[in-house]
Amino acid sequence: MKNIYIIAATLVLTLFLESNAYSGDIEEGKKLAFDRKKGNCLACHMIDDGELAGNNGPPLIAMKARFPDREVLFNQIWDPTETNPNSFMPPFGKHGAITKTEINKIIEYLYTL
């Protein structure tokens, strides 16, 4: 019986630590998305809690519903010209403006919208 309590406590602690790491990724992703030297999403997109948003790109709403396949959203940020050669969205990842890790953090934030 004692082993069950140890396993349960370990599981709860693991979930707690993972949720805190996840929460940190969301906050860091938001900072990256709003950072003018990094993601700069607000230059073209309306985001609910962003100020001075642009309107050249679509509003960033219901992102998880619009991009249920995370890889599609990742590729859109990495290099949108792969699927749309006429896209005016910069290929942030391909040009080295943001890293793969940073894109994944931005996606964590976008999935909260």
Which parts of the chain fold into alpha helices (H)? 2-34, 63-66, 70-78, 100-110
CA distance 31 to 34: 5
The amino acid that residue 51 corresponds to is E
CA distance 103 to 100: 5
pLDDT-derived band at 109 (thresholds 50, 70, 90) equals: very high
Query: Average pLDDT over the chain, rounded to whole?
Result: 85
- Residue 62 pLDDT more than 60? yes
What is this structure's pTM? 0.77
Q: What is the reported pLDDT for 110?
A: 95
5-51 pLDDT, tens digit per residue, is 566 555 544 444 444 446 789 999 999 999 988 889 999 999 988 88
| Structural domains present in the chain | 2-110 (1.10.760.10)
